[in-house]
Structure 1
Amino acid sequence: MTTEAKTAPLPTILFNKVAYTNGDDVILNISNATDKITSVTVSHLGTEIQKLDHLNSTSVKLSSDIFSPNSGYVVKVETVDNTGNHTSKTLGLSVEDDWTIFPRYGVVAGSNDNSAERNNAMTNDQLEGYQNNIDQLAQMHINNYFFYDVYDTTSNPFPNVNSFKQEWATWAVKNGQPNPPKSIPC
């Protein structure tokens, strides 16, 4: 008979912002109040630029003066839970003056409720779910969101309309495309 060792779940480390610009302080928070951050190491291109040791906190502030604009960083956070289990988590951090230089896109799509009344559309009664999705994308440092609302299917979003015009879609066919391609030839 063998027994498997149980591993404690990794704590969730949250950034206080989605994107940082030059001059912004970074605040790291731990999601579970019984866990504590014990150390934080910030590196850039393999070089350690700051190490904070002997911490016992649920929140740590990294001063903006250690960051350079338009640069990426590795942040290693070590934690301990209330039973003494130690874990570490490595996170990415970017400091950028213009999000369009290093865009990271996220998509928020319609519901997974396939009932006839909703047809995969985003609805007000699902706002909490969409907010949770946005919060998850924020922790991935997604700095540009695309909202995609499917009213019927992804290949035919408006099945009962012969054509539709989207003024904002300057790249699209002038009067819309009622029958979009179903596959891409290779």
Structure 2
Amino acid sequence: MSADETFPQAAELDPETATSLTAPPPTRPEETRAVARGVKRHLVQLGFAVVEELPLASGRRADVVGLAANGEIWIVEVKSSVEDFRVDHKWPFYRTHCDRLLFATSPRVPLDIFPEDCGLILADAHGGEVIRPAPEHRLSAPTRRAMTLRFARAAALRLYGFTDPRSGGNVEIG
């Protein structure tokens, strides 16, 4: 079998795959959205409920927060480029809001830039995989309660925003 017969042509693939093979590399916002989508898909497969861009009590926003059925909370910080990681100095503060802190990135970013004391997820628009587990640092009971309530309120208010046309989708917790 020749190479032409082994691999399908772009026109024979599904539209999403064909586009990814023929399109120029994604821009950073596109890459960030793709990684975040893959992270959310993976966390849901692991049994987590997920909320994106969750406002924290510190005033910062976590890229992706996962809440497990047992109450464990993961924060995943999405980094779509080396520059994105290097200019961000706020991620260490996320540890006080979660049981495990992880970074997620695309296959285009070198993995050795990420700190060893955080978990690491490799993701694209189709899914992700934890390639380095995050060390556990258990939240205190009051912080866990506050984070769980913040997560629940954000999820419920966002759902309300989708279901009530008068809200315009602009419902957010403070």
Q: State TM-score, norm by structure 2.
A: 0.23
Larger Rg: 1
Report the TM-score, using the length of structure 1 for normalisation.
0.22
Higher helix share: 2
Relative contact order (alpha carbons < 8 A, sep ≥ 6): 1 or 2 greater? 2
